[in-house]
Amino acid sequence: MSQQKISYKNTNNGLMMSAYLNFPDDFDENKKHPALVITHPGGGVKEQTAGIYGRKFSEHGFITIVTDASYQGESGGEPRQLENPYVRTEDVSSAIDYLNTLDYVDSDRIGAWGICAGGGYTVNAAINDKRIKAVGTVSAVNIGHMFSKGWLGDQDMKDAIKWLEFGATARSQEAKGDDVVQMPMAPMKKEDTPYTDLKEAWEYYHTDRAQCSTAPGYGTARSLTQLVTYDAFNMAEIYLTQPLFVVAGSAAESKWMSDDLMERAGSDNKEMYIVEGANHMKLYDIPEYLDEAVAQLSPFFKEHLGVSEPIEA
């Protein structure tokens, strides 16, 4: 497996995107290969869990592209750390646009995979973009429902009106010239949350486990005016027709969102795999759990995208 750091112009918003391209051992630039678009969590960057999965999938025969989201990481855009879900969804399709410019990528064999909110964005992209031929998720989060229904899915959705008001106030302040109002994308301190999954999210993003200088852990509060009402699985029962493979941990407090995806997906070919003993965050980087997820997802993508023999260009 080899890797290149690249940049390309986002066809949706004109920003310059920073990404890694990972190549399989049998890569031949004179042949056409299947590819996977890899999407990172909200608040994450390409050097963290998405990058690990990107490298792992390339070891199984795929070209993978792992991109920092617009306004985040080393990609361009202001204000920094904007988490607009519609932009994040379009980032997936923009990466496919870029892959279509590469002579060695087979445009008929492109899949998409995402983790946490990146899984939700990947699903939403697949609902809209039929160039995606197969879809995989790990610890999927429908980020709109996370805000409107809460981390456990038991919150009265009307309680989220306060987040809409907070986001609207932030936008007004910024329009008048005030500094960008920030909000945490994961707990900034361990004691900030009662949830086991999210205590580990603090550890992941803010300790030596996976902290990264380009992932500060906060987003823009203005994003709430899009996030709260966003449904990553909107119309999935009708338009999510591609093969789907969903992975979740047996102990994940977020598992209800993967269950919801499975129930709502219209695909005739959908499967869910439970990694026993894993929670939401352990699937990010703990080898025994991550490797089990890859061992299940790789055959799925091989079946639907094909990697046994690259196609002559």
Q: Per-residue pLDDT for 81 more than 90?
A: yes
pLDDT above 70 as % of the chain: 98
3-state helix, strand, coil in the chain (%, to 5): 40, 20, 40
**pTM for the structure as a whole:** 0.97
Q: Is 43 helix (H, G, I), strand (E, B) or coil?
A: coil
Side-chain-side CA neighbours of residue 147 (13 Å): 28
**Which pLDDT score, from 0 to 100, does residue 313 have?**
54
Residue ranges and CATH numbers for the domains of the chain are: 2-142+233-312 (3.40.50.1820)
Q: 294: which strand partners? A: none
pLDDT tens string 193-236: 999 999 999 999 999 999 999 999 999 999 999 999 999 999 99
DSSP letter for 242, please. S
213 CA to centre of own chain: 19
* Cβ atoms within 10 Å of 263's Cβ, excluding its own: 11
Residues 6 or more apart whose Cβ sits within 8 Å of residue 203: 190, 209, 281
